[in-house]
Amino acid sequence: MERKALRWAMGSAGVLLVTLGLAAAVLAHQASRSAAARRPGTGRRAAARPRTPARPQSIDQASWPLHLAAAQGHIGVVETLLKHGASANPRGEKGRTPLWLAVSGGHEGTAGLLLKHGANPNLGADEGLGPLHLAARKGHRRIMGMLLEYKAEVNEKDARGRTALYLAVRGGHDGTAELLLKYGGDPDLRSEDGVTALHFAARDGRVDLVTMLLAYEADADGAMEAEEAKGETKGPAWVPSDRPGDETGYALRFDGQGDYVLIGPSKTLDIGASVTLAAWVKSDGDEDGQIIWRGDQQGGHDPYELHVAGGRMEFRVDLGDGTKASKVRAKERLDEQWHFWAGVYDQDRESLYLYKDGCLVGTGKASGKCEYDTGCMWNVIGAVDRGNWQHFAGTIDAVQVWSRALSGREVGRLLEQPPTGETEGLVGYWMFDEGSGRDVKDSSGEGNGGVFRGCESRSLAF
């Protein structure tokens, strides 16, 4: 009996030990999963968490933690940093302050908090564009109201001689323009090109804006006085390239006020079906503007174009009778960094594709070909028509036009291995490596060279 009792006790103890061991293992596993869930990017639970807002693509635009938080509108982080002694006015890359970045992103609460903690509303970036200019250009009326309350200089000019009122009227932001006028905005101040806010309002047929400006004593007889307004042109500027893979060449800088490259009518660029457009692009901001366009002055009959629309890159083709556009647009806004963009229309697959740095970022549906007369059309880089509107502000390099639909793999290879001279389907290739002069060479071998243009008629486009 004693032996049986002993064996029973030992067996029970063994079971107890195994049970306790299993329980400990379960608890350890659960603790491990909980810890993984608390670590971003690990474990199943972490993968199911809502996605955090997109981070800046480059940390060099935010030299201090306050820059990073302000650029993304993280108001709680901004408040915490300021309470712990962070300066409200540090200048990061290109001289940009946290307030500048908050205004650029339209983060009203963050901008207001920074102003309350002593952010200077008159500290502009290196390009001379201040927070007030940004708010006016983007139509952020409430943010601009706060800036003006904190003594922003209403008539301060940027590096191109443009005031906030000039930018507000140019962007068609009536309410923003009215607020600036109430705070003493001078409607007669001219940009470096001799253009005033009234010139823009008159050109665009904005009776309401013209009436408003005249009510604030704008000069109704004021003529443009800059040399360009008398018919002289300048065009884009050659700049040393700093894009990936081309640190020793050149690129073209467009000022967003009338610069463009004109390429005359060409049979090889007359493409009404499958087509690929590609270019390296570094935008100054998120204003609309053309990268490359083909068409004439008929509205809505543009066979192909790659442009910025709503702050995002867009590829578009007008097929059929030309009255209906097929397009695909990127989801993310431009970020003022170099990117390689490519738009593809594949007639056989009845599809549109948009690539950013070799990665597919958008698709769309399209079918057919152009059924209208395209033979006498021309191509423009940096604007549309004869440079009349949609002027691009930023830097462009290595623009390409292909008369066929490139595959995703081919687009990816262009990042590492650009085309060299005559290649199947390459009908236009402007490398912009001349570095001087007013002529742009076509390296495709098709002879589609271009020429610089400024604002040939300031009465049509400023």
Helix (H, G, I), strand (E, B) or coil at 416: helix
Q: Report whether 278 contacts 425 (CB < 8 A).
A: no
- Least confident range from 2-11, 143-152, 357-366, 379-388: namely 2-11
For 167, phi then psi, to 5°, come to -70, -35
Of 165, 126, 119, 177, the closest CA to residue 336 belongs to: 126
How large is the average pLDDT for residues 182-189?
87
Task: Please tell me the predicted confidence (pLDDT) of residue 225.
Answer: 53
CB atoms within 10 A of CB 235: 22
Each residue of 192-228: pLDDT tens digit? 767 888 887 887 788 888 898 888 888 887 655 543 4
The structure's pTM equals 0.55
Spans of all domains in the chain? 60-227, 237-453
Arithmetic mean of pLDDT over the chain: 80
All residues at 6 or more sequence positions from 281 whose CB lies less than 8 Å from its CB, including other chains: 291, 313, 334, 338, 339, 340, 341, 394, 395, 396
Each residue of 297-309: pLDDT tens digit? 666 678 999 999 9
How large is the average pLDDT for residues 412-420?
89
How large is the average pLDDT for residues 277-293?
91
Task: Please tell me the predicted confidence (pLDDT) of residue 231.
Answer: 37
Cα–Cα distance measured from residue 163 to residue 382, given in angstroms and rounded to the nearest whole number: 23
Provide CATH code, domain 237-453: 2.60.120.200
Confidence of residue 428 (pLDDT cuts 50, 70, 90): very high
**What DSSP assignment string belongs to 333-369?**
PP-SS-EEEEEEEETTTTEEEEEETTEEEEEEE--S-
Hey, which residues does 276 pair with through a beta bridge? 344, 402
All residues at 6 or more sequence positions from 461 whose CB lies less than 8 Å from its CB, including other chains: 203, 258, 383, 387, 388, 389, 391, 455
Cα–Cα distance measured from residue 39 to residue 85, given in angstroms and rounded to the nearest whole number: 28
Each residue of 343-355: pLDDT tens digit? 999 999 999 999 9
Tokens of 366: 């399209």
Each residue of 96-114: pLDDT tens digit? 899 999 998 899 999 999 9
How large is the average pLDDT for residues 378-407?
88
How large is the average pLDDT for residues 225-235?
46
**What DSSP assignment string belongs to 42-55?**
-HHHHHHSPPPPPP
Which residue has better confidence, 429 or 201?
429
Tokens of 215: 């009510």
Task: Please tell me the predicted confidence (pLDDT) of residue 316.
Answer: 95
CA-CA-CA-CA torsion sign (99, 191, 168, 459): negative
Class of the CATH domain delimited by 60-227: mainly alpha
All residues at 6 or more sequence positions from 110 whose CB lies less than 8 Å from its CB, including other chains: 69, 70, 73, 74, 75, 78, 102
Task: Please tell me the predicted confidence (pLDDT) of residue 40.
Answer: 40
How large is the average pLDDT for residues 141-160?
89
Q: Rounded to whole angstroms, what are the CA distances from 68 to 36, 40, 78, 104, 360? A: 26, 19, 9, 13, 27
Cα–Cα distance measured from residue 374 to residue 269, given in angstroms and rounded to the nearest whole number: 10
Cα–Cα distance measured from residue 276 to residue 225, given in angstroms and rounded to the nearest whole number: 42
Q: Report whether 260 contacts 456 (CB < 8 A).
A: no
CB burial string 166-202: b at 16+ within 10 A, e below = bbbbbbebbebbbbbbebebbbeebbebbbbbbbbbb
